[in-house]
Structure 1
């Protein structure tokens, strides 16, 4: 499994859809575009800018549920 870093979030001009650009942590020349929904792109960008959300996002709630059950999530 390769570690990936979020490089940027842009918009595909043809489809007007957000594109998440992931870069391999060990190789700066390899970039993977991932098309995401508008809500997901907004949530990722708010997290990157350290803007607090009015309520926890779904992924944080799931992590809290898993932790309260005495379990741990290692990989996604």
Structure 2
């Protein structure tokens, strides 16, 4: 797995579709993911710290996860099939007596405030845009499988510096407020 971070949010200049740009921590590899307008608005509003008067779907999901005592551990872009990305959200859930056994990916030990806990790891299937919208709300790390990086024909900054710089310039000049304005005007 390769840890990535949200490198930008903007529009593809060819078709004006919203796009998320993930980049690795060394800023050598980039992964563009095209998403829907409403998902882009949800991510942009969180990045701009804009709080709507009523919770959006991703805010509601994060609230439910929190109330149930679970924690978003990480999100993973798991595969790409027919130009469609797939991802999962990994939750950490404390196992308590009397609760039905959740569909678990196994257990692991975590330490919080110097106390060690045994937790179940629950993996939920999610669209990458939804998983990333939840990650930005919970500060959860974003990972991409090596297989996805290979299949998506990642841009290597050393091999294609000029194209990478053009794309970086484009992303840096996009204003996330545009998404919030779109959401306000269309909701």
- Cα distance, 1:70 vs. partner? 3.8
Q: Secondary structure of 2:31's partner?
A: strand
Residues 20-59 of structure 1 mapped to structure 2, 5 A cutoff:
20-25=20-25, 27-59=26-58
- Cα distance, 1:62 vs. partner? 1.6
Q: Secondary structure of 2:70's partner?
A: coil
Structure 1 70/49 Cα, relative in aligned 2: closer, same or farther at 3 Å?
closer
Q: RMSD in angstroms over aligned alpha carbons? A: 1.8
TM-score normalised according to structure 1 size = 0.77
- Cα distance, 1:7 vs. partner? 1.4
The higher radius of gyration belongs to 2
Q: Name the one with the larger strand percent.
A: 2
Q: Secondary structure of 2:73's partner?
A: coil
Q: Secondary structure of 2:20's partner?
A: strand
- Cα distance, 1:54 vs. partner? 2.0
Structure 2 gaps, min length 5: 75-88, 90-187
- Cα distance, 1:30 vs. partner? 0.8
Residues paired across the two proteins, number: 75
- Cα distance, 1:12 vs. partner? 1.2
Aligned to 1:11: 11
Q: Secondary structure of 1:3's partner?
A: strand
TM-score normalised according to structure 2 size = 0.36
Structure 1 71/48 Cα, relative in aligned 2: closer, same or farther at 3 Å?
closer
Q: Distance in 2 between matches of 1:68 and 1:51?
A: 22
